[in-house]
Amino acid sequence: MLPFRRFIIFRENRKEQIRINRVEMRLLRDTSNPFNLTNERFTDLFRLTKDLVYYLAEELNIHLHQPQRSTAIHPVSAILATLAFYATGTYQRPLGENYFPGVIGAIDGTDVLIERPKQEEHNYINRKGLHSMNVQFICDYDLNILSVNARYAGSSHDSFIWRNSAIQVELQGCFANGDRHSWLLGDSGYPQQP
């Protein structure tokens, strides 16, 4: 299957996954109550059952400050944030998994060294002074390669390759047709675009 077609199929499957996550997040967002999540999702996020978290909140209640302002963090929310951190060892992973719906992949370029070409040698010299091709990869969260673009010489910048890629044209078309929930993440070598 062509990489571009595989990318389109992945994006369609991702849309369905986003729709399902959006329903769960709407429950969380609308009521600000993680206890409205399914038991399975709750346990995945916090590594404890709802009953165990209720028990823990009761036990810790005397040690926690009660909120005085309406904008204060509720003690149970503080406990859940702590549990999420203990479950993963990071603040970033839960944030990425739960609050960045729509990320369809990550993009970056890498230099692949080649032998010195006989024609137009100067185009193949990268920023390190070596002969290479700048190969652009797009992969999903599970490191499955969705797209490879190996048409450009080592002197080409990542943003130039992106501007001339079929994937960029496809995503611009999706945005023009109302898709505001598909995101491709890249480093500072890529422009921020709709």
Q: Is the pLDDT of residue 60 over 80?
A: yes
Question: pTM for the full model?
Answer: 0.54
Q: Where are the domains of the chain?
A: 32-99, 102-186
**Rounded distance, CA 15 to CA 32, Å?**
24
The arithmetic mean of pLDDT across residues 149-173, rounded, is 93
Q: Is the pLDDT of residue 80 over 80?
A: yes
Look at residues 100, 97, 96, 113 and name the one whose alpha carbon lies nearest to residue 150.
113
- Could you give the dihedral angle defined by the CA atoms of residues 117, 120, 121 and 123, in that order, rounded to the nearest 10 degrees? -120
Q: Structure tokens of 169?
A: 């044209």
Phi and psi, residue 8, nearest 5°: -65, -45
